[in-house]
Amino acid sequence: MRRLAILAVLALEVPGVPASSAGATQTVAMKGIAYEPKQVTVHVGDIVEWANQDIVAHTATARDKSWDVNVLPGKAGRMVMKTPGRFDYICRYHPNMTGEIVVEP
Ligand SMILES: [Cu+2]
């Protein structure tokens, strides 16, 4: 149900992006209490998908609190990157889990 809820949110957001520039999806694994890869570069409109391969919940939470994605064990969470910039992020449950997303215009 959680996954459905996330997809429903995506469905609401995607229409704002012209179909011709529909974003690519970049996957980041949550594995061994770490993000893999730790750093990804995407473009505005692209989707970052976090795939939790651990047996505990993780989050991808921007240090500036601009976004927060909670991902249950064995599930995936996605977000459309709408704002250019560099975003450091952490897991709220495991603050040693750190990652970075660079969103290019
Ligand atoms: Cu975590």
pLDDT of residue 3: 54
pLDDT tens, residue by residue, 10-47: 444 444 444 445 689 999 999 999 999 999 999 999 99
7 pLDDT above the threshold of 80: no
Residue 18 to residues 21, 45, 49, 55: CA-CA distances in angstroms? 6, 9, 20, 37
- CA of residue 92 to ligand 1 center, whole Å: 6
Cα(58) to ligand 1 centroid in Å equals 4
pLDDT score for 87: 97
Q: Which residue has the tokens 């694994």?
A: 29
pLDDT of the residue at 21: 55
Domains of the chain, by residue range, sit at 2-104
How far, in Å, from the CA of 63 to the mean position of ligand 1? 14
So what's the pLDDT on residue 19?
Answer: 44
Cα of 56 vs centre of ligand 1, distance in Å, is 7
3-state secondary structure of 17: coil
CA–CA dist 102, 105 (Å, integer): 10
What Cα–Cα distance (Å) separates residue 46 from each residue in 11, 22, 23? 14, 7, 4
CATH 3.30.70.20 fits 2-104, yes or no: no
Q: What pLDDT, in 10s, does the model give residues 53-93?
A: 999 999 999 999 999 999 999 999 999 999 999 999 999 99
CA of 17 to the centre of ligand 1 (A): 30
